[in-house]
C-alpha cells in the first residue's frame, strides 16, 4: 500500500500519524520459523539482511505477513539512507559489513496472521494486534503512531531533522495500491545555490539536462550537486538563453565535478532557489528540485562572489533549530507552506491530550514518549466514528493495550488473539 503526496500537515481525530522512515520498504512473510523479505518490486532481499533472520522468533505467531521499513540508524538514532546504501545492493554481505552497518526493521502493519486475512480490518486494530504480538528489541521495532496531532508531530520531526511523517486514516483497510487513505508529508528545505554550469540533455527535445550548483566557502565555489527537475517549458527556454550568454570555457568550481553527461560552464552570475530533502555525507543535495530564481540575487545582474547577494549572507542551515553547517556561505530559506484541503472529521467526544517535553536518547524511537503525556479521566481513549475503545497499559512502551467495540462487544481481532503477548508463542497449533 502506497501513500499519496500532500503539501501541508494537518491534524484530525480520525487519522493517526507515523514517522516517515528513510529506508527500504519490505514485506516480511513468516511461515513455520522461516522468513522471506520482499521489496516493493517483489524482489527477494532476504539474504541481503541476515541479521533480520530471527524475526520469526520475535513474533508470537506461526504464520504472518508484516509491512515495514528496513533502515540503518546513525549515532543520533535517525534513519540514514546514506548508511543503508552501503547495504541495500550487497546480495551477500560479510559479517564485518553487517556489524558496521546493521539494519533495523520497523514494523508498522500486519496483513495476515495464522489463517486470518486482516487487510479489511481497520488499521488501528491491525497496528494494535501487531504491537501485542511483536517482541521489540534493538533489531526489531514497532513503528509507533500519534493519534490526531499531525501538525505537532510534523513540527517535532522537522526540529529533529527527520524526513517527514505519514498520515493514515485510523479505520482504513489495507489496499495494495496507492491510496488517499495514506498521505505522506515530506519535510523539504530550500537553498539559494550558485549556478556554475549545466549538463548536456539526453534528448534533443530539451535545451539542457541539469544545472550544476555550488555554494561559496570563502572565495571558493564548492560543488553541491545538480538539479534536473522542476522546470517548465517557459523556464527551460529562459534559462537556456541566459546560460548561453554567461558561457565560459573554464569551470568556476574549486574542483571540477564529475558528471554523467558532458558539462558546460558559466560565470557565477546566476542563483537558483532549490528545494531539497537533505544532505549526503559528501555534502551534496538530496532530491533537489528547481523552485525559482530569487529576486535581487545574481540572476538579476548582481554576481555572486566577493560582492555577494542582497540577501543577508549566512551559513546554510538544514532545518529550523538545527546546528548550522560549516561549509557554506550563501543564504538559505525555509520551505514555503502550501495549503492542502482535507476533510475534517467530527471532533465530538475526542479525548484531549496534554503535551510536555522530556529528554530522549533516540529521537525517532522515543519521539512519542518525548512529547506526549495522556491525561485520561476514564480508562481509555474514545475515537469518534469508529467506536474503538483504546485501553492503555499502565506500563509505558509495553504493548498490552486492547481494542474492542464499545457497542458490539470484542472485535474479531480481539477475540482471536486476546491471550497473546509479545515474545510468548501461544496456540500455534490452531
Enter the C-alpha cell of residue 27.
514485506
Please measure the distance between the N-terminal and C-terminal CA atoms of the chain and give it in whole angstroms: 29
Is 220 annotated in the active site?
Answer: no
Strand partners, 375: none
Q: Where are the alpha helices (DSSP H) in 301-384?
A: 367-371
55: left (phi over 0), alpha (psi -120 to 50) or beta: alpha
Q: Give kind and range of the element (H or E) at residue 152.
A: helix 150-159
Contact criterion met (CB below 8 Å) for 428 and 115: no
Contact criterion met (CB below 8 Å) for 330 and 304: yes
Q: What is the DSSP string of 214-276?
A: EEEETTEEEEEEEE--S--HHHHHHHHHHHHHTEESS--SSSPPP-SS-EEEEEEEEEEEEEE
Apex CA 21: angle with CA 15 and CA 25, to 5°?
Answer: 100
Contact criterion met (CB below 8 Å) for 184 and 5: yes
Residue 340's nearest CA partner among 184, 191, 231, 175 is 184
φ/ψ (deg, to 5) at 120 = -90, -5
Q: Give kind and range of the element (H or E) at residue 5.
A: strand 2-5
φ/ψ (deg, to 5) at 344 = -105, 120
CB-count burial class (<10 Å; 0-12, 13-18, 19+) for 408: exposed
CA distance 182 to 108: 13
Strand partners, 373: 354
Task: Give catalytic residues, as residue numbers.
Answer: 20
Amino acid at each position: 500500500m502506497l501513500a499519496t503526496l500532500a503539501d501541508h500537515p494537518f491534524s484530525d481525530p480520525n487519522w493517526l500519524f507515523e514517522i516517515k522512515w528513510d529506508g527500504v520498504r519490505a514485506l516480511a512473510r513468516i511461515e513455520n520459523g522461516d522468513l522471506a523479505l520482499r521489496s516493493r518490486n517483489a524482489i527477494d532481499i532476504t539474504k541481503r539482511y541476515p541479521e533480520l533472520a530471527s524475526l520469526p522468533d520475535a513474533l508470537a505467531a506461526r504464520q504472518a505477513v508484516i509491512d515495514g521499513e528496513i533502515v540503518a540508524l546513525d549515532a543520533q538514532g535517525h534513519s540514514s539512507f546514506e548508511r543503508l546504501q552501503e547495504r541495500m545492493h550487497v546480495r551477500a554481505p560479510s559479517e564485518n559489513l553487517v556489524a558496521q552497518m546493521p539494519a533495523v526493521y520497523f514494523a508498522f502493519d500486519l496483513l495476515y496472521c495464522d489463517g486470518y486475512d486482516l487487510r479489511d480490518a481497520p488499521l488501528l486494530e491491525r497496528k494494535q494486534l501487531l504491537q501485542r504480538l511483536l517482541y521489540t528489541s534493538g533489531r526489531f521495532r514497532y513503528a509507533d503512531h500519534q493519534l490526531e496531532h499531525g501538525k505537532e508531530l510534523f513540527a517535532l520531526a522537522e526540529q529533529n531533522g527527520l524526513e517527514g511523517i505519514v498520515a493514515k486514516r485510523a479505520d482504513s483497510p489495507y489496499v495494495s495500491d496507492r491510496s488517499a487513505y495514506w498521505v505522506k508529508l515530506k519535510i523539504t528545505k530550500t537553498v539559494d545555490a550558485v549556478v556554475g554550469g549545466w549538463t548536456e540533455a539526453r534528448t534533443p527535445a530539451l535545451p539542457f539536462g541539469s544545472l550544476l550548483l555550488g555554494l561559496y566557502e570563502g572565495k571558493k565555489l564548492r560543488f553541491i550537486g545538480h538539479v534536473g527537475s522542476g522546470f517548465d517549458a517557459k523556464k527551460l527556454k529562459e534559462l537556456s538563453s541566459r546560460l548561453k550568454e554567461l558561457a565560459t570555457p573554464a569551470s568556476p568550481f574549486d574542483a571540477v565535478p564529475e558528471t554523467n553527461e558532458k558539462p558546460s560552464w558559466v560565470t557565477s552570475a546566476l542563483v537558483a532557489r532549490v528545494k531539497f530533502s537533505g544532505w549526503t555525507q559528501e555534502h551534496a543535495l538530496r532530491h533537489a528540485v528547481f523552485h525559482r530564481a530569487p529576486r535581487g540575487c545574481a540572476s538579476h545582474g548582481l554576481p555572486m562572489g566577493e560582492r555577494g547577494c542582497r540577501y543577508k549572507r549566512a551559513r546554510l542551515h538544514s532545518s529550523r533549530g538545527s546546528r548550522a553547517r560549516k561549509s557554506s556561505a550563501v543564504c538559505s530559506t525555509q520551505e514555503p507552506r502550501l495549503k492542502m484541503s482535507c476533510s475534517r472529521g467530527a471532533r465530538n467526544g475526542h479525548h484531549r491530550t496534554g503535551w510536555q517535553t522530556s529528554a530522549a536518547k533516540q529521537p525517532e524511537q522515543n519521539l512519542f514518549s518525548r512529547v506526549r503525556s495522556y491525561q485520561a479521566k476514564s480508562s481509555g481513549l474514545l475515537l469518534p466514528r469508529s467506536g474503538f475503545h483504546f485501553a492503555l497499559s499502565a506500563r509505558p512502551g509495553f504493548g498490552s493495550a486492547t481494542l474492542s467495540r464499545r457497542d458490539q462487544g470484542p472485535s474479531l481481532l480481539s477475540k482471536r488473539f486476546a491471550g497473546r503477548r509479545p515474545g510468548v508463542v501461544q496456540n500455534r497449533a490452531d
